[in-house]
Structure 1
């Protein structure tokens, strides 16, 4: 398999080589940074919801950072859906940063300046997209 030239994709590729499942790491970090988020997940069956939510978010991130074929539209759509759940927009946007922080921790020294710049730009664009809704 050829490594991606897209820094966001590459960061996920590197993370996938080192970590089988980002889900528990992402949610542990989310709940540490935003304890109020824990109450938004029901106790029973929430692991499947968390895994599915993270997978859809990663797909949207990869599309937003890449070809923008349509999956990235899920970000705006889900921002509106999460409004209905009572999720503050700041928390919704913070989830993307939590993912970036988790990937950064996993790939450690392979987190390059190029990857960091790409993530910072992406997070800014996502924040702008959500704010414009």
Structure 2
């Protein structure tokens, strides 16, 4: 398999070779950094909801970091939707940094300066894109 030239996509590809499911690691970090989020997930079916949310976030991030064919728009839509449920935009946007930090820890030495710079820039763009209410 040829590695992606897109550093964001590359970070996910490298992570996939080390971990079949990022969900437990991402949400453990979310709950540690933002304990108030534990109660935001219903008790029955919470793993399915968390897995689905992460999958949609990853799909949106990959599109946002690449060709922006449409899936990236889900970021702004979900920011508004989450706000309606009482999740601040700041917390919603912080989730993407949690994904980044989880990938960084998982990749260890393979977390390159290029990947770090790409993620830093992406998080700034996502913040600007999703930070303003529609």
Partner of 2:119: 119
User: Match for residue 99 of structure 1?
Assistant: 99
Residue 82 (structure 1) aligns with: 82
Number of residues of Structure 1 aligned to a counterpart in Structure 2 = 133
Q: Aligned equivalents of 1:104 and 1:38: distance in 2?
A: 23
Per-residue deviation at 1:132? 2.3
* Aligned mates of 2:131, 2:102 — CA distance in 1: 24
1:78-132 Cα shifts (integer Å, max 9, x gaps): 0010011100111100000000000001110000000000000000000011122
Unaligned runs of 5+ in 1: none
For residue 24 of structure 2, what is the aligned residue in structure 1?
Answer: 24
| Preserved contact between residue 93 and residue 131 of structure 2 (Cα < 8 Å) | no
Is contact 2:11–2:115 with CA below 8 Å preserved after alignment? yes
Aligned to 1:70: 70
**CA RMSD of the aligned region, Å?**
0.5
**What is the distance in 2 between the residues matched to 1:46 and 1:110?**
32
In 2, distance between residues paired with 1:132 and 1:38?
25
The CA distance in 1 between the partners of 2:73 and 2:2, in whole Å, is 27
Q: Give the 3-state SS of the residue equivalent to 1:18 in structure 2.
A: coil
